[in-house]
Amino acid sequence: MAHSPPPLTGIRVLELAGLAPGPFAGMMLADYGATVIRVDRAHPSSRHVDPSSPTPSSTSTTTTTPSPPPPPPPPPTADLLTRRKTSIAVDLKSPAGRALLLALLPTVDVVIDPFRPGVLEKAGLDPTGVLLRRNPRLIVARLTGFRRPGNNNDSSNKYAAMAGHDINYLGVAGVLGMLGRKAGKPYAPGNIVADFAGGGAMAAFGVVLALLERERNGGWGQVVEANMVDGSAYLASFLRLGMGMGRNNNKDGAGGGGGKGEVEGVWARPRGENLLDGGCPWYDTYETKDGRWVAVGALEERFFGKLCEGLGVDPAQFPAPREDRRGWPHLRMLFTAKFKSKTRAEWERVFDGTDACVTPVLEQAELRQMGFDQRPPVTLKSSPGWAIADGDRDTRPAAEGQGIGVEGEGWEEKGLAPGEGGEEMLARLMGWKKGVHYAVENGGLVLIERARKSKSKL
């Protein structure tokens, strides 16, 4: 089947190098066709080479002067979200480096700003006062952890300038307080919720919305604001609304519509006592005979019946109707003992192909051994994104349902060194040549015209 190019083909993105959320937004855009150039900090050992620097072949063989030691390698980066990106290294504190970035803007659609509030402004790159004036079509996606400073009545202002990480944003968003077991401390679920779902993915969504709006408004760009606190809080909308669906004050009665008939919200009780947070015995994980785990999610009554059938238990023998919380401790002990009686593989043979909502809890290493391949989160049937691929795979036909491109597992990424592939990309997109349009100074690219002006003032 013939496909159209990925939907973001032709969109050009400058991703100012940052930590996980910004790179994730850039990777999402790249996976759907955008050309993404990461702007790294200049470093003496970047991939950019000054052609005027002496090389071993250009030095005299008769000299006894020892060659200077090579510069140290670039500092290690934790950024593994580099799929389909290239890099240029630029010193944004240098007037000539900043001038190079500004010279790129007229040909760029999106800039991703991952910095804390005020950083771009201090660098002389104010989004509205500088960037959008240089290119009115530009979309500047600004992604912060906490909310950017707002009006004086905003109680969240005190966090705006603070450092933070996923766990902090979840805490301020009221999400972390929802996660964890009964009588236990709030549990941090890795950095998936705030950094990636509430941060990077929301920022990418905002970029796509702004691109759509630009098509409708005559070509005007805008600033897109996203932050991980509001992104995480938005993701928790169902839970927050579930807290307000009514409360059952009968502590011993049923939850979720049982007992004396009151309607209780899906998240109306304290942490760890609700239907979807492990408080309910038929929505939990259980250990198997071989020390592995299964996930049980038999919420609906007909699915609960299939669960009981597979476990070999009769609901008619339970001490109370399943909705009555007073019987939940008994059910949990019963399910715990039953699942411990067989290995996970044995339970898979029992429940696979049924509607009992019982699945294995697979470890990442198991997935890879099973040949699990990561696929794009959304497939557009006529214009799919690129297939997920390992870094150095040979070109092969794309897998069915993955989209066009190179087939691969998506388990490895070689990373991206500062300056890697950037000069080739500048030649392709801008027609720029080293030594004509830009030069290399201290491991970073500078605009030649501006560099000459700066040197003439010395």
Q: Kindly list the catalytic residues.
A: 195
Q: Are 289 and 338 in contact (CB under 8 A)?
A: no
Q: Are 409 and 374 in contact (CB under 8 A)?
A: yes
Q: Are 210 and 221 in contact (CB under 8 A)?
A: yes
| Dihedral, 361, 20, 415, 113 alpha carbons, nearest 10 | 150
d(CA 67, CA 69): 6
Q: Are 8 and 207 in contact (CB under 8 A)?
A: no
d(CA 158, CA 164): 13
d(CA 425, CA 440): 16
The encoded tokens of residue 32 equal 């759907």
Q: Are 359 and 292 in contact (CB under 8 A)?
A: no
Query: Please, which residues have CB within 8 angstroms of residue 346's CB and are 6 or more apart in sequence?
Result: 288, 289
List, as one string, the DSSP characters of 181-197. Answer: -TTS-----TTIIIIII
Query: How many CA atoms are closer than 13 Å to the CA of 355, on its beta-carbon side?
Result: 7
- Residue 286, classed as helix, strand or coil, is strand
How far out from the chain centre does Cα 67 lie? Answer: 44
Q: Are 423 and 434 in contact (CB under 8 A)?
A: yes
Give, rounded to a whole angstrom, the gap between the first and last alpha carbons of the chain. Answer: 62
Helix 448-456 to helix 95-104 angle (10° resolution) is: 150
